Structure 1
């Protein structure tokens, strides 16, 4: 029986465990935290309010993954038709904005459509970066008023410093007819890569891992401090030392690389050029349910501190005490582009202030719960340095036989099902290598 070690107990780690379990192998899973789940963990507080680490929903079209997750929660899940909206200068257009211009100021609509038409008639633009793609897709007015602003808040850099590797279906490119319909009528159709989603009825998003946990020998509170790929040996902060025949890691690449003994300088330097956002999640429990008609809202105004809001009570009524509602706000930072100031708790009052400015909270609302948590690794930033830096890091890990998976191992923009399958895939590579 090969001794296979998995670092990290999130969706990717358990994807790997699931694949190994199918071959009769029970891997050792080491988790630095005192709980399993990684970024898919969920926390219920004494107040009765439950929050995930960021807005997690499952909208996969992969029926195999759908069935696996459904079985993990004993078929007890909510199926929800998604509703998304946006906030811009006091207006609340539906999402995506480019299909729902109706109700915005007339002069804005005219300029957006005029620029859109002009761009469609212009010679084809070279796609050097995300800014070029936005201008070619929407015209300058829309690009500058909406996605370029959101880029600075969410990705924390400018669109001309970003690649287009991450786009996929995430941003919809409309036809002129679609844009005109959305400008003339409030009843334009819903077009988005998410139409409906599933969410566990009980226990938050982490419940989707319930049936996978026994497939590995899980060791919590094991923070790795050193990895020797030649001796195939790992040391942990608690003094435990272990050897492995094969290794699967979902540890964020900058953290993983700096712990590898004998790592070449160019690989270490490349790992430090990989950019990622840090997120402060500010959570509120409120004494009423009717907080929003949308499950998530996107905020473009740069004088509003949060970038996105989600409403956990709208995912499952069991996430909150009866008759109450909940809000989770995301405030983004980046060591590379926008270093965080103060502590996570320092952002509770600014978020509360801006929730009232937007009209989502009233002055007389009862705030039943509040807290803030820091998510050190939030979203990979696809800046123009990412590609070459990542090739250097991944090439080295492959040379020394370290399997990498998950959002922060692949250093990509992976959704939940893709993260799970990433773990499965690297486990298969490990099996192929040791057979």
Structure 2
């Protein structure tokens, strides 16, 4: 058996692996990326159906880092205001809902605002549900974010930590809530004012320059890593020996394929949970929406959110057509639904949402991404650190959304890989 000798081996051809390869080139070192799939890009990759292009879930850039912008801005892009909508029962409200209650009946608004004024003065615990009730009061929390949490995280809010929140959740302000209860002319309070998306080629076009400049070997699925011998074995039998190993594999997967992992680390890795995403991609024969993306609170609709690739860029659809992609989340690496359940529910959702007529639908495509988001279970951070400490002791630099096991956007993932070398 021939063992190829390499300097830097990078596992995973997503944005983090590409960032690591960029750093290696800047240092004058040879880095080879090994990607399990037949194309590079990871979560930023896309696929096409009958002239319609769909990303792997929603992607929009609001990167501000000079290093990232220097790469992304090589690609001509469109800009969009960060306007999002929320659907509940039979009405649309601007995002965030607590600041845009005007469309609700007066009695509902009074009850929600009174509950906000009576919200707990102190946090009842260190979990996400306690944070939500403390921020918004019981009525708003129960009507909106607690329901959405069950859909998006596939986990009760009481079982989640709050370390992921950052700017992602708008903290409640009385003036904003009162103003939005009386007027629909509310300011955009999203954490960024502008979203960018490539004019052509899908979101992957932003990282295409990195793909073109990197040495990538596709269809190389890792089946075994021996840190002591610095060996990586692939499913088709190839073996490489490395001087330095950069991994973007999900931490539980990294532990599964590595040898001589202590039992405590294996146990910690088994306790790290992510969500799988059912993607339902819909092509329409005519324009059906002008909205970039929206959130769905109703429990009878499985999808937590949806977005329009054709609004992101007209290049994503044939002339005169439009598209939507729905995201449905499950806890774990597999969907909790059958394909038939997912497709039938999405058809019903289109009717309830009032988006398009059944005869407007050209096709519906269903596929599952086994890793969509890291789930921030209570105590996850300690388990994550146990695994990361072991990886460091095995001289494995683990990076990216699932390698760092963190809620990283594409710009953050790129820099995570870049700084791993």
> Do 1:83 and 1:293's aligned partners in 2 also have CA atoms closer than 8 Å?
no
- Consecutive unaligned residues in structure 2, runs of 5 or more: none
> What is the DSSP-based 3-state SS (H/G/I as helix, E as strand, rest coil) of the residue aligned with 2:104?
coil
Q: Please report how far the alpha carbon of residue 65 of structure 1 lies from its aligned counterpart in structure 2 after TM superposition.
A: 1.5
Map Cα deviations across residues 254-286 of structure 1 (whole Å, 9 max, x no partner).
111100011111211111110111111001110
Instruction: Please name the residue that 2:390 is paired with.
Output: 396
> Do 1:26 and 1:215's aligned partners in 2 also have CA atoms closer than 8 Å?
no
Matched, 1:347 2:351: no
Q: Please report how far the alpha carbon of residue 126 of structure 1 lies from its aligned counterpart in structure 2 after TM superposition.
A: 4.4
Q: Given the superposition, is the C-alpha separation of residues 385 and 204 from structure 1 closer, same or farther in structure 2, using an over 3 Å criterion?
A: same
> Do 1:273 and 1:385's aligned partners in 2 also have CA atoms closer than 8 Å?
no
Q: Please report how far the alpha carbon of residue 58 of structure 1 lies from its aligned counterpart in structure 2 after TM superposition.
A: 0.6
Aligned equivalents of 1:368 and 1:269: distance in 2? 47
Aligned length: 417
Q: Please report how far the alpha carbon of residue 125 of structure 1 lies from its aligned counterpart in structure 2 after TM superposition.
A: 2.5
Instruction: Please name the residue that 1:411 is paired with.
Output: 405
Aligned equivalents of 1:359 and 1:198: distance in 2? 27
TM-score by length of 2: 0.96
Q: Any residues of structure 2 matched to 1:4-19 within 5 Å, and which?
A: 4-19=8-23
TM-score by length of 1: 0.93
Instruction: Please name the residue that 1:93 is paired with.
Output: 93
Matched, 1:358 2:361: no
Q: Any residues of structure 2 matched to 1:113-128 within 5 Å, and which?
A: 113-119=113-119, 122-128=120-126
Instruction: Please name the residue that 1:56 is paired with.
Output: 59
Q: Please report how far the alpha carbon of residue 127 of structure 1 lies from its aligned counterpart in structure 2 after TM superposition.
A: 4.1
Aligned equivalents of 2:64 and 2:99: distance in 1? 24
Q: Please report how far the alpha carbon of residue 379 of structure 1 lies from its aligned counterpart in structure 2 after TM superposition.
A: 0.8
> Do 2:54 and 2:316's aligned partners in 1 also have CA atoms closer than 8 Å?
yes
**After the TM superposition, which parts of structure 1 deviate over 3 Å for at least 4 consecutive aligned residues?**
none
Instruction: Please name the residue that 2:258 is paired with.
Output: 260
> Do 2:161 and 2:379's aligned partners in 1 also have CA atoms closer than 8 Å?
no
Q: Please report how far the alpha carbon of residue 335 of structure 1 lies from its aligned counterpart in structure 2 after TM superposition.
A: 2.9
Aligned equivalents of 2:73 and 2:329: distance in 1? 32
> Do 2:6 and 2:241's aligned partners in 1 also have CA atoms closer than 8 Å?
no
Instruction: Choose the corresponding residue for 2:302, options 300, 305, 316.
Output: 305
> Do 2:44 and 2:55's aligned partners in 1 also have CA atoms closer than 8 Å?
yes
Q: Please report how far the alpha carbon of residue 106 of structure 1 lies from its aligned counterpart in structure 2 after TM superposition.
A: 1.9
Matched, 1:319 2:316: yes
Matched, 1:335 2:332: yes
Instruction: Please name the residue that 2:201 is paired with.
Output: 203
Q: Any residues of structure 2 matched to 1:379-394 within 5 Å, and which?
A: 379-394=373-388
Instruction: Please name the residue that 1:164 is paired with.
Output: 162
Q: Given the superposition, is the C-alpha separation of residues 81 and 216 from structure 1 closer, same or farther in structure 2, using an over 3 Å criterion?
A: same
> Do 1:14 and 1:420's aligned partners in 2 also have CA atoms closer than 8 Å?
yes
> What is the DSSP-based 3-state SS (H/G/I as helix, E as strand, rest coil) of the residue aligned with 2:91?
coil
Instruction: Please name the residue that 2:71 is paired with.
Output: 68
Q: Please report how far the alpha carbon of residue 381 of structure 1 lies from its aligned counterpart in structure 2 after TM superposition.
A: 0.7
Aligned alpha-carbon RMSD (Å): 1.6
Instruction: Choose the corresponding residue for 1:294, options 287, 291, 294.
Output: 291
Map Cα deviations across residues 133-192 of structure 1 (whole Å, 9 max, x no partner).
111111000001000000000001111111000000001113211110000001011110
Matched, 1:27 2:35: no
Q: Please report how far the alpha carbon of residue 67 of structure 1 lies from its aligned counterpart in structure 2 after TM superposition.
A: 2.5
Map Cα deviations across residues 231-257 of structure 1 (whole Å, 9 max, x no partner).
000000011000001100101111111
Instruction: Please name the residue that 1:432 is paired with.
Output: none
Aligned equivalents of 1:125 and 1:206: distance in 2? 42
Q: Please report how far the alpha carbon of residue 349 of structure 1 lies from its aligned counterpart in structure 2 after TM superposition.
A: 2.4
Q: Please report how far the alpha carbon of residue 194 of structure 1 lies from its aligned counterpart in structure 2 after TM superposition.
A: 2.8
Q: Please report how far the alpha carbon of residue 79 of structure 1 lies from its aligned counterpart in structure 2 after TM superposition.
A: 1.4
Larger strand proportion of the pair: 2
Instruction: Please name the residue that 1:190 is paired with.
Output: 188
Q: Higher mean Cα deviation, 18-27 or 356-365?
A: 356-365
> Do 1:279 and 1:374's aligned partners in 2 also have CA atoms closer than 8 Å?
yes
Instruction: Please name the residue that 2:364 is paired with.
Output: 370
- Consecutive unaligned residues in structure 1, runs of 5 or more: 428-435
> Do 1:28 and 1:217's aligned partners in 2 also have CA atoms closer than 8 Å?
yes
